Amino acid sequence: MKVNVTLSKDVKVNALYIFFLVHTLQVGAGIMTAPRTIADEVSPDAWAALLIAAVYVHFIAWIIIKTLRFYDNADLAGIHADVFGKWIGAMLTLLFTGYIFLILLSVMMNYIEVVQVFIFPSLPTWLVATFILTLAVYGVSGGFRVVTGIAFLLFFGAIWLTFTIAEPIRLMEWNHFTPILQQPWENIFRGAHKSVYSLLGIEVLFFVYPYILNKDKVGRYAHIAIIATISILILVTVASIGYFSQDQLKHTVWPTLSMFKIIHYTFIERFDFVAVALWMAVILPNITLFLWIITENLRRLKNIKPMYSMIATATFLITSTIIIDTRQTITRISEWASLAGLWLVFIYPVFLFLVVSLSFRFRKKRSSS
């Protein structure tokens, strides 16, 4: 396997699109449940937990970019092969691929469950999964530029939903936020830990870096994307804490979507139905990009044609949706994905950076001697 990926300019994109790739991956299924999971640990100081999490995510983004800049045009598979060798490197890349599959499955299952609860209770899970994955396979078959275009277009298709939270904010009870910063710091750090699932997505830099033209600007747009994600997450969490009582929030599975129930327009009676349907614009870039990462990793490792790996992955996902039939199982999968993300996204990059930097320092010293 070549460490540096050789690509023509016509398949690469401007660094500006890093913002849309990172942001659309982070704002996915996690934001639907994040206010409940975070506030359950540290309400009313959830905003403080999110600020701590934001600082660490910025640090991880910086670490990932510093690691990638040791190379001219390498991705995670190439870095693994370079510093760990062919076999160990391949195993580590397969481990990351398995994690991406787990995240993809959890995102898709969480959204399908929302559709079934809010709109179509009797709709078969496999049918919704087939529809979503057909769109994703069609997008990924067009290549990385099409995948990026989907993230770009659907960002504008979904971002306006943020402004609809103005009505719940208007109805907030401000005494829900007192006393301020009276929670023990261990609770605040636990709340930051609970936000892991909602902040996964920065790892996409490991896979898309070779496809970026002006690599010197990757860091700028990645950090802007993190700021945008954290701002929306804090806004939604604060609105949920202020709108729901603490007991209500604890027993509301999807606080973000539940707040849409109070929004009414003269031409739309049930805006929550519309919001759930439009949430597809939030979920589809996640699924499309995760599917592309899986196919790209398998192509790099075993030179498997993308169409074959896409069809196999989609078939496996649809089969999994038939087997997974309870809320408890979906929650468990999300917890596994969150735990895997904690280690592979928020801890492992620091270790990888140290290994790569020491490896390059050793090579430099050996070549000079």
Burial of residue 296 (number of CB atoms within 10 Å: 0-12, 13-18, 19+): buried
Confidence of residue 171 (pLDDT cuts 50, 70, 90): confident
Residue 5: count of CB within 10 angstroms of its CB: 18
Domain 9-354: give its CATH architecture: Up-down Bundle (1.20)
Identify the pLDDT of residue 134. 94
Q: Is the pLDDT of residue 322 over 90?
A: no
Residue 175 has pLDDT above 90, yes or no: no
Q: Torsion over CA of 269, 248, 113 and 96, rounded to 10 degrees?
A: 130
Q: Give pLDDT tens digits for 223-278.
A: 999 999 999 999 998 888 888 888 888 888 888 888 888 877 777 777 778 888 88
Report, as an integer, the average pLDDT of 12-16: 95
Report pLDDT for 127.
Answer: 92
Mean predicted confidence (pLDDT) in 24-38: 84
- Residues 181-202 pLDDT 10s: 778 888 888 888 888 888 889 9
DSSP code at position 161: G
Q: What is the pTM of this model?
A: 0.93
pLDDT digits (tens, 9 = 90+) for 85-131: 989 999 999 999 999 999 999 999 999 988 988 888 888 999 999 99
Least confident of 151-160, 188-197, 266-275, 285-294: 266-275
Residue 369: per-residue pLDDT: 67
Confidence of residue 350 (pLDDT cuts 50, 70, 90): very high
CA angle 122–125–127, rounded 5-degree value: 95
**In the chain, what are the domain boundaries?**
9-354
pLDDT at 148 > cutoff 90: yes
Among residues 296, 229, 295, 215, the alpha carbon closest in space to that of 13 is found at 215
Lowest mean pLDDT among 134-143, 169-178, 296-305: 169-178
Query: Token pair for residue 224?
Result: 């802007």
